[in-house]
Amino acid sequence: MQHRAVFLICAPEDRQLADQIATDVHTASGLTVWCEAPASDNSSPAESAQQRLDQAQAAIVLLSPYSAASEYVLAQILYAQRIGVLIIPVLCAECTGPVTFCLNHLEWVVRRDGVPLARAIDQYLEQKRAL
């Protein structure tokens, strides 16, 4: 059976939210969610993150005011684009910046309080598979 795993890209400031989302998505859909935010000094574990991306079905990008201007997040997105990994932008808070600019061409999932994100991500994956 194919291993279903997604990689979660976020800014260090959003790590707590990312962990919560990873747990929710895994519990609800059985997807393995890898999450490696850089340390708060922004010394990014870029290499190991990219190894995870190499194996992931998709990359979930948490969009927040922090990640919208994060060098680490941008680097991972550009890498994911280069290797052709499906990118799922998830808007967690209103934001704009270089990272959102680079995701202009994609459909975004909007995270809302009380609405399970796992279902939206599952639908997104299903839709892309169907296409």
Partner 1 sequence: MSEKHLFISFSQEDSSLVQELARLLRDRAGLDVWYYQEQTVGIEYVTRLMHAIEQARAVLLVLSQASAHSVFVLNEILHTRKQRIRIIPIYVEACSGPVCVLVNHLHRIQMRDGQDVLPLILEALELPVLFGTDFPVGELAVVDAYQQWSWPTTICYLEVPDHMAPLELPTEIGRWNIGRLPVSANHIAINQGFVSRSHAYIRVRLEENGVSFVVYDESSYGTYVNGERISIAQVLNEGDEIGLGQPDAMLRFAYSLETRAPQANFGL
By the criterion CB under 8 A, which residues form the site for partner 1?
Answer: 69-71, 74-75, 78, 81, 97-99, 101-107, 131
CB of residue 87 to partner 1, shortest distance in Å: 11
Smallest distance from partner 1 to CB 105, Å: 5
DSSP E strands in the chain: the ranges are 5-9, 32-35, 58-63, 86-91, 109-110
Q: From the CB of 95, what's the least distance to partner 1, in Å? A: 13
* Residue closer to partner 1 (CB basis): 93 or 106: 106
Closest to partner 1 by CB, 29 vs 70, is: 70
Nearest to 20 by CA among 98, 118, 101: 118
Q: Which is nearer to partner 1, 23 or 123 (CB)?
A: 123
CA distances from 53 to 5, 32, 93, 97, 114 (A): 9, 13, 24, 23, 29
- Least separation in angstroms between CB 77 and partner 1: 10
Which strands sit side by side in the sheet containing 86-91, from one edge to the other?
32-35, 5-9, 58-63, 86-91, 109-110
Using the minimum distance from each CB to partner 1, give the nearer residue, 29 or 67: 67
